[in-house]
Structure 1
Amino acid sequence: MLHHIAPEVVQISLMPRNSINCYIIEGVLVDAGIRSSYNTVRKALEEIPVYQHVLTHAHADHQGCSDQICEAFSIPLLCHPDEVCRTETGMVTKDYPSPQHWIAKLQQKYWAGQGHRVDQTVVENDFVGNFRVIETPGHSAGHISLFREHDGILIAGDAAINMSLLTTATGLRLPPNIFTSDRQRNIESLQKLAKLNPAIICFGHGPVMRNSDRKFEQFVAKCSALS
């Protein structure tokens, strides 16, 4: 299902209640759900053409159909240098705190896609269209977010999530510890994002949030106080 968020920003909701999302920003596909998301993403790209694909990070619910999409549409794949190994091998759960946990094993077996060659890496202050790359490590080593200055749109990946993954209730949360390599570093990355005062925040999990009441900054301040 396609949701037009802002000019040249489209959310593709890949699971009910926005539980897994990817986005098309200015002709670029951001993330690609799980392996079985392929048909949904393919149909979206037949409607809205893209010329490249970038990953916020190479976890199974973000790189799941990247290989299939890049092959089908002949588009290059981009990620942060610290995500290249997972992206190219498809072994995406090795850096989890507990890679032998049954959920990690399930994700690797059923959600993760095959590895795909990375054509280009992106780092802090590079641009993807008009979106500036913000390095936001913590959830994974090379996690990035993308920020468009002129209208304050933030693609946050999994730096924060906007739902409970257990109940699907909407609300800002840190990503689960079981999938997060460094919780404290993740909070520091959120502090960096809060300084941008984003107007609209697009999450990998949960509905898009309009931030007119500064809920995001309040959430980050609370996380920082508890860390």
Structure 2
Amino acid sequence: MKPIAEGLWQIPLAPKESVNAYVLGDVVVDAGYKASGKKLVKALEGRAISAHTLTHAHPDHVGGSKRVVDAPGVPFWAPAGDAAAIEAGRSVVGQSRIRPLVAATNRFDPVPIARTLSEGDDVAGFRVVDVPGHSPGHIAFWRESDRVLVLGDVFFNMLLPRLKPGLRDPLTFVTPDIAQNHASQRKLADLEPAIACFGHGPVLHDAAPKLRAYVNARS
């Protein structure tokens, strides 16, 4: 578990920070693949955890969630726009020629939902920001006092599967609305974060000009 800022820790769940979970105060955000659940629960041993939530309902973020919720017996908070997918155990995927294959493998264990989260809700001192596109209900977590952002997969900070760091768009074949995700990228860049934490890739410091340059390069 790696400290990032006050009350924020990163838990890498795969080599070179290619899949990450985070702890915001006493709330666990994301859980990696199903196989990551055991590793995440072990990393959380000895910590008082009050809840578990997600940035979005894709199997590399919600796959380990049932184990995380069951182990300490904590409530699960779901992004409101992804709640139906979480209860069904199947996420919404993008349009591509391999859509049937992606849809068939894009499943996970359903998790009972105790609360749904949407724009403006507070989670351990972070404000929920709605950033749909990569999933219908994708959310990010923003703390304005020190300009820290946990953004899930709105941006990648790694080229997968080569594990090469650098800002990227999320994978198109699992992004149902690419244009909407681009709008969400601009929304987050407009926050001018000092620190950006990604679902895939290392934490980015002095993030504001880098996110802004990435977004503007597409204009």
TM bin (shorter chain): over 0.9
2:163 is matched with 168
Matched residue, 1:89: 88
Q: What displacement does 1:212 show?
A: 5.5
CA distance in 2, matches of 1:207, 1:103: 26
SS of equivalent to 2:110 = coil
In the TM superposition, residue 73 of structure 1 has moved relative to its aligned partner by 1.0
Tell me the alpha carbon deviations over residues 138-186 of structure 1, each in whole angstroms, 9 at most, x when there is no partner. Answer: 0010000000111111001000000001311100001011010101100
Q: Assess if the C-alpha contact under 8 Å between 2:93 and 2:102 holds in 1.
A: no
**How far did 1:103 drift?**
4.5
Alignment partner, residue 138 of structure 1: 133
Query: What are structure 2's unaligned runs of at least 5 residues?
Result: none
Give the aligned partner of residue 77 of structure 2.
78
Q: Which residue identity is paired with 1:190?
A: Q
Inter-CA distance 186–44: structure 2 relative to 1 (3 Å threshold): same
Once the two structures are TM-superposed, the CA of residue 45 in structure 1 deviates from its matched residue by 1.4
Give the Cα separation in 2 of the matches to 1:8 and 1:104: 36
The DSSP-based 3-state class of the residue aligned with 1:73 is coil
Task: Tell me the residue number matched to 1:180.
Answer: 175
**How much has 1:105 moved relative to structure 2?**
3.1
Residue type matched to 2:95 in 1?
Answer: P
Q: C-alpha distance in 2, partners of 1:178/1:96? A: 5
Partner Cα distance (1:139, 1:67) in 2 = 22
The corresponding residue for 2:52 is 53
Secondary structure, counterpart of 1:186 in structure 2: helix
Where structure 1 has 5 or more consecutive residues not aligned to the other structure, the ranges are none
CA deviation map 1:62-106 (0-9, x unaligned): 0001111111111111122211111112122x4432474434434
Residues 30-49 of structure 1 mapped to structure 2, 5 A cutoff: 30-49=29-48
Distance 1:3 1:130 in 2: 19
- Counterpart in 2 of 1:29? 28
Give the alignment's Cα RMSD to 1 decimal: 1.5
TM-fit CA distance, 1:48: 2.8
Tell me, in whole angstroms, the C-alpha distance in 2 between the residues paired with 1:212 and 1:140.
23
CA distance in 1, matches of 2:29, 2:55: 7
State how far apart, in whole Å, the 2-side matches of 1:201 and 1:19 are: 15
Aligned length: 218
Range with greater deviation from structure 2 (200-209 or 78-87): 78-87
Range that drifts further, 68-77 or 98-107: 98-107
Secondary structure of residue in 1 paired with 2:185 = helix
C-alpha distance in structure 1 between counterparts of 2:9 and 2:35, whole Å: 20
Identity of aligned residues (%): 38
Structure 1 120/16 Cα, relative in aligned 2: closer, same or farther at 3 Å?
A: same
Partner of 2:114: 119
For normalisation by structure 2, the TM-score amounts to 0.94
Structure 2 contact 102–174 (Cα < 8 Å) conserved: no
Q: Which moved more, 1:207-216 or 1:161-170?
A: 207-216
